[in-house]
Chain A
Amino acid sequence: MRKNYYIISDGKLMRDENTIYFENEEGKKPIPINTIYAIYALGSLSITSKAISYLAKEGVCIHFFNRYGFYEGSFYPRESLISGEVVLRQAEHHLEKEKRLYLAKAFVEGSILNMAKVAKKSGEDDTDIISTLQSLYDAKSIAEIMGIEATARNAYYEKFDSILKELKFEKRSRQPPENEVNAMISFGNSLLYSAVLSELYHTQLNPAISYLHEPSERRFSLALDLAEIFKPLIVDRLIFNLVNNRIIQKDDFDREMNGILLNENGKRKFVKAFNERLEKTIKHKDLNRNVSYQRLIRLECYKLIKHFFGVEKYKPFVIWW
């Protein structure tokens, strides 16, 4: 099984023969190539061109974050899985208004249902989240759909302070995050976005053709679309665990010019828990097979391709356990 590697300290990636090495002050550590699924570079990382071309050949994505933990960009190797048929149909579903609205609504529907599920499981009343669904079904434009998603999310965020026992959330703030919880949400969402992008890379989908978000919004806007569905399960629940079990505490953050941010120790804890969540498995109800949370993202990609091919209408992933 290939794994995600999170490189938090500063250092250098290089290739020697057929092995990738990570070198820093503590020494040189081999990372066998066939164990690497994706690399998350969270520190200041130098990479030799030999290492880059070897990772490209092996289809390994590298996601870069700045020292504040904000996503900067990805090394997305040359695509090896290309299907003209998939790309054409993906574009068709973007260009035809009704088709695009169907998918945009599906992503938001999944997002709302998952937020409701997470709130409910934490002992909160979810009616105000769920009640946004009616207006979602009636929505006639992407802007309207975006607005409904924002309303649902605000209703959902209002529950955070009663779910979180230690740290305060108050309200969503980004760039800069004004408190610890907001810092974790931003960091977690960036990691999730990267994880979705890694999955997209291993399919024939074109990551730039999106439905809910505008394709111009970011280079890989389809990853933004899909990430919406998984934020409650993968990021928010993780934060509840970390805070309520006091794994992450106030001293895991630094106050910087850019607001409050996880420090190196905090990032280390967060990333470890994040990866454990991606690797966590669940018995899939249709496949009757254990799949990891990360694999669930891949399955969403497959469902989209089937939707484009007209064999099965896309229904968003909703937490079923």
Chain B
Amino acid sequence: MLDEMYVRGTQVNYYFVCKTKLWLFSKNVSMEQESDLVKLGSLLQRQFFGREEKDVSIGPISIDVLRRGDEIEIVEVKKSDSIEKADYYQVLYYLYYLSKFGIKAKGRISYPKKKKVVEVRLEEEGEIEEVLERIAEILAGEMPKPEYKSYCRKCAYFEFCFCG
């Protein structure tokens, strides 16, 4: 099996949000367990989903799947659209992953609080493959030094990164 098949969706997301967070999360240094924002996120996910969706785990990925007629649709629910690019690539990665098993699907990102939906289609594989390579490079290296960004204060890793 390909190396990139061990990457988790969250890691693809974090790649676009913060390399430090990606590295730490990948080494199992997680901080999310105490974060109220993270709890809110998973609560939203549970509440938003109706009957037809299924929580499916395949290898490292865990996706919410929904079948509409002949087509499979995968859904990702997010609290806010502030890091839309990261969410987009996360879903793109799921589609890429499924395509490796010969499953054709389309994707949808849902932002219930904004009443907004973004469609995702896997047009070509090059861009996601490049991201996966970069992730592997980062994980092979040392921990990236935290860099302060505007959204750091809301992150579960904020205290870890900037406590001195």
- Measured CB to CB, the residues of A under 8 A from B are 80-86, 202, 204, 284-287, 289, 291, 295, 298-299, 302-303, 305-306, 309-312, 315
Question: How near does chain A come to B35, taking the closest CB pair, in angstroms?
Answer: 12
Question: Given A83-B28, A86-B27, is A302 in contact with B163 using a C-beta cutoff of 8 Å?
Answer: yes
Interchain CB contact (< 8 A) of A204 among B28, B158, B159, B164: B28
The answer to whether A311 touches B29, judged by C-beta atoms less than 8 angstroms apart, is no
Q: Which residues of B contact A309 (CB under 8 A)?
A: 142-143
Q: Given A84-B28, A310-B142, check contact A302 B160 (CB 8 Å).
A: yes
Residue-by-residue, is B141-164 near A (CB-CB < 8 Å gives 1, otherwise 0)?
Answer: 011011000000100001110111
Q: Are A85 and B29 in contact (CB under 8 A)?
A: yes
Chain A residue nearest to B142 (CB atoms) is A310
Using A202-B34, A287-B162, A305-B160 as known contacts, list a sample of 18 further A-B pairs with CB atoms less than 8 Å apart, ordered by residue number in A: A81-B30, A81-B33, A83-B28, A83-B29, A84-B28, A284-B163, A285-B164, A286-B162, A286-B164, A287-B163, A291-B159, A295-B159, A298-B159, A299-B163, A302-B163, A305-B29, A306-B160, A315-B164
Query: Chain B: interface secondary structure?
Result: loop
Contact A311 B28 (CB under 8 A): no
Least CB distance, B3 to chain A, in whole angstroms: 19
A80 to B159, CA, bound (A): 20
- What residues on B are CB-neighbors of A202 within 8 Å? 33-34
Q: What 0/1 pattern do residues 47 to 89 of B give for CB contact below 8 A with A?
A: 0000000000000000000000000000000000000000000
Cβ contacts under 8 Å, B29 to chain A: 83, 85-86, 204, 305
Interface of B toward A, CB cutoff 8 Å: 27-30, 33-34, 142-143, 145-146, 153, 158-160, 162-164
- Residue contact B159 to A287, C-beta cutoff 8 Å: yes
A sample of 13 cross-chain residue pairs with beta-carbon separation below 8 angstroms, ordered by A number, consists of A81-B28, A84-B28, A85-B29, A86-B29, A202-B34, A285-B164, A286-B162, A286-B164, A287-B159, A302-B160, A303-B163, A306-B143, A311-B146
Chain A residue numbers with a CB within 8 Å of B164 are: 285-286, 299, 303, 312, 315
Whether the Cβ atoms of B159 and A85 lie closer than 8 Å is: no
Q: In the complex the two chains form, is A302's CB within 8 Å of B34's CB?
A: no
Cα A104 to Cα B126 in complex, Å, equals 50
Q: How far is the CA of A83 from the CA of B143 in the complex (A)?
A: 14
Residues of A within 8 A of B145 (CB): 311
- A284 neighbours in B (Cβ, 8 Å): 163
| Interchain residue pairs A-B with the least CB separation, the first 4 | A83-B28, A85-B27, A309-B143, A299-B163
How far apart are B153's CB and chain A's nearest CB, in angstroms? 8
| Given A85-B29, A202-B34, residue A311 in contact with residue B160 (CB < 8 A) | no
Find chain B residues with CB under 8 A from A299 CB: 159, 163-164
Give the docked Cα–Cα distance between A302 and B159 (Å). Answer: 8
Contact: A80 with B33, CB < 8 Å? yes
Q: Within 8 Å CB of A315, what residues of B?
A: 164
Report the Cα distance A87→B47, complex, angstroms.
37
Set of chain B residues within 8 Å of A291, measured between Cβ atoms: 159
Once bound together, how far apart are the Cα atoms of A315 and B29, in whole Å? Answer: 21
What residue of chain A has the Cβ atom nearest to residue B30's Cβ?
A: A81
| Complexed CA–CA distance, A204 and B34 (Å) | 14
What separation, in Å, do the CA atoms of A312 and B162 have in the docked complex?
10
Question: Contact between B143 and A310 (Cβ–Cβ < 8 Å)?
Answer: yes
Q: A287-B159, A302-B160, A310-B143 are in contact. Are A83 and B27 (CB under 8 A)?
A: yes
Q: Which residues of B contact A310 (CB under 8 A)?
A: 142-143
Closest CB of chain A to B54's CB: distance in Å?
26
* Chain B residues positioned under 8 Å from A80 (CB to CB): 33
CB distance from B74 to the nearest CB of A (A): 28
Complex CA gap A311/B147 in Å reads 12
CA distance A299 to B143 in the complex (A): 18
CB distance from A283 to the nearest CB of B (A): 13
The chain A residue with its CB closest to the CB of B145 is A311
Note all chain A residues with C-beta closer than 8 A to B153.
289
